[in-house]
């Protein structure tokens, strides 16, 4: 694992954005594994700006998103499809036919099969991740067993509580989601996880304090990846207990 400590969110966005840009410049037809939530917002702004200033071309890039809520109506502003459109896809020249976000309504069993077949057909050159305060990656929640394939997951109360900041209340946060499994995440050529904020400290500690891997803290599985970069800000890096 490579641990990178950056000063603040601005530096984090530039560092992670440059990592992704480098992958695209080296391989214009790269496939990106993408995340949603607060963490990648600034990274997507940074990448959008590289595109606007003519420094990066997404015309041959493809992408696969990590997850989507189940049960939100089509076009919901809370959906990750909407998030991706507003935060990234709408700002760059990616071909929407090559940008896959799992669909959280309709026949979910069929969608899960489709997700798995896309993961097989489109190996990711880089996977961008955030981490939940309980250590989830994608929506692979702490559990007795983790899944390797894409699957439907019941979200933990903690996750619904954390994500209620994007909704009106916790009751509006969907109870289930469709997510990439561990094989999909660890199958990427490179993995980069960015984290900031005190409430992520337990998850980060579990990654850096020792070499243990546990399904209780799913992000610990990233220790097995040979090209894994963990980017944290100074505040998070400085927390001892
Ligand atoms: C999002 C995702 C989640 C988030 C995690 C952290 O697609 O898969 O694992 O990365 O919940 O979310 P933020 O960045 O909002 O703290």
| pLDDT tens across the length of the chain (241 residues) | 999 999 999 999 999 999 999 999 999 999 999 999 999 999 999 999 999 999 999 999 999 999 999 999 999 999 999 999 999 999 999 999 999 999 999 999 999 999 999 999 999 999 999 999 999 999 999 999 999 999 999 999 999 999 999 999 999 999 999 999 999 999 999 999 999 988 999 999 999 999 999 999 999 999 999 999 999 999 888 865 4
CA 19, CA 30: separation in Å to the nearest integer?
13
**Does ligand 1 have an atom closer than 6 angstroms to the CB of 138?**
yes
Distance, in Å, from the CA atom of 70 to the CA atom of 197, rounded to the nearest integer, reads 27
Candidate list 141, 162, 225, 233, residue with the active-site label: 141
CB of residue 130 inside a 6 A radius of ligand 1: yes
Q: Structure pTM?
A: 0.97
Rounded Cα–Cα distance for residues 21 and 188 (Å): 16
Q: Is 67 a catalytic residue?
A: yes
Q: Name residues whose C-beta falls within 8 Å of residue 78's C-beta, 6 or more positions apart in sequence.
A: 69, 72, 166, 167, 172
């Amino acid at each position: 694992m490579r641990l990178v400590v950056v000063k603040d969110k601005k530096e984090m966005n530039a560092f992670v954005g440059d990592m992704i840009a480098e992958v695209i410049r080296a391989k214009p037809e790269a496939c990106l594994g993408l995340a949603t939530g607060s963490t990648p917002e600034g990274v997507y702004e940074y990448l959008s700006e590289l595109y606007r200033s003519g420094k990066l071309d997404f015309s041959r890039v493809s992408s696969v998103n990590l997850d989507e809520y189940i049960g939100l109506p089509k076009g919901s502003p809370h959906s990750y499809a909407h998030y991706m459109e507003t935060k990234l896809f709408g700002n760059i020249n990616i071909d929407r036919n090559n940008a896959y976000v799992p669909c959280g309504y309709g026949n979910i069993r069929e969608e899960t099969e489709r997700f798995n077949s896309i993961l097989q057909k489109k190996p990711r050159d880089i996977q961008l991740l955030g981490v939940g305060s309980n250590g989830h990656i994608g929506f692979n929640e702490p559990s007795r067993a983790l899944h390797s394939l894409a699957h439907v997951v019941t979200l933990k109360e903690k996750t619904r509580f954390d994500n209620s900041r994007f909704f009106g209340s916790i009751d509006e946060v969907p109870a289930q989601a469709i997510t990439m499994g561990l094989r999909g995440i660890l199958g990427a050529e490179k993995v980069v996880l960015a984290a900031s904020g005190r409430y992520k400290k337990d998850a980060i500690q579990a990654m850096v304090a020792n070499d243990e891997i546990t399904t209780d803290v799913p992000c610990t599985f990233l220790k097995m990846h040979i090209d894994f970069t963990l980017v944290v800000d100074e505040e998070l890096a400085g927390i001892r207990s």
